[in-house]
Amino acid sequence: MSNIKKGKKIFKICVLGDNKVGKSFFINSYLTSVNQKNIKIFNDKNKIEITKQFKNQNYVIKITEFSSKEEKNIKEKLDESNCVFIIFNMNDRDSFDNLFNKWIIFLRENIHYDRLIIILGNYYNINLKNKFLITDEDEMKKLSEISEVKFIFYEIGNKTKDEKIELIDNLIKEAEEYEIKEGIYDKKQKEKCQIF
């Protein structure tokens, strides 16, 4: 345990997506990877803070969930975020259409596409299990090209709870590397130091 880095890193995630696509369910899977005493749930329920150690680093992970782009604080939280998850339901055409028409356009208009954007395709309704999924990796690649917003896509509908936890841990690490590579970390530090 001696090689654990000192200090806690703060990592902020915004989780966007239509109502009932499974945002809270996905976040709750992640909460099971830590002790109850390391979880803080705020009054408005859409904000959670987790203290967690993984990959030799102590983290405070702050997760905020938004179902509508009109919600207060959304722009401020996106500004502060280190990465953005957009969740949709791969069994639901409206939720797929909204990915572009609502969420991606919103991020593009608000210039939040310099963050690492991760799109997660959920499906869970047992009654819909045999129904065709409305999209696949190739179509999502095309969507990224057309929208000119870079994102990575993962299916989560087929993942177990442990696989979801591992995915989020890995995505946090990936977002950190992305911020360093794109110079976002330096930019944020500079903004912080500006004196008016």
Q: Partners of 154 in the beta sheet?
A: 120
Partner touching 25 among Mg ion, ligand GDP, none, CB below 5 to 8 Å by kind? ligand GDP
Q: How far apart are CA 49 and CA 117, in angstroms?
A: 20
Q: How many CA atoms lie within 13 A of 18 on its CB side?
A: 17
Contact with Mg ion (CB under 5 A) among 24, 33, 57, 58: 24
Helices 23-31 and 161-181 pack at an angle, to 10 degrees, of: 90
Q: Which of 122, 167, 168, 175 binds ligand GDP (CB under 6 A)?
A: 122
Region of 15-23, 90-98, 135-143, 184-192 interacting with ligand GDP (CB under 6 A): 15-23
Do you know the residue count of the chain? Answer: 196
- Among 12, 16, 22, 92, contact with ligand GDP (rule: CB under 6 A): 22
Segment 50 to 79, residues that bind ligand GDP, using CB under 6 A: 67
Which of 3, 19, 36, 127 binds ligand GDP (CB under 6 A)? It is 19
Residue 20 binding: pick among ligand GDP, Mg ion, none (C-beta 5-8 Å cut-off by kind): ligand GDP
CA Rg, the chain, in Å?
Answer: 17
Using CB under 6 A, which of 12, 14, 16, 17 touches ligand GDP?
Answer: 17
Q: Are the C-beta atoms of residues 65 and 23 closer than 8 Å to each other?
A: yes
User: How many CA atoms lie within 13 Å of 187's alpha carbon, on the beta-carbon side?
Assistant: 11
Give Cα 181 to chain centroid, integer Å: 19
Residue 124 binding ligand GDP, by CB under 6 A: yes
Asked if residue 121 binds ligand GDP (CB under 6 A), the reply is no
Distance CA 34, CA 36 (A): 6
| Residue ranges in contact with Mg ion by CB under 5 A | 23-24
Q: Which residues bind ligand GDP (CB under 6 A)?
A: 17, 19-25, 67, 122, 124
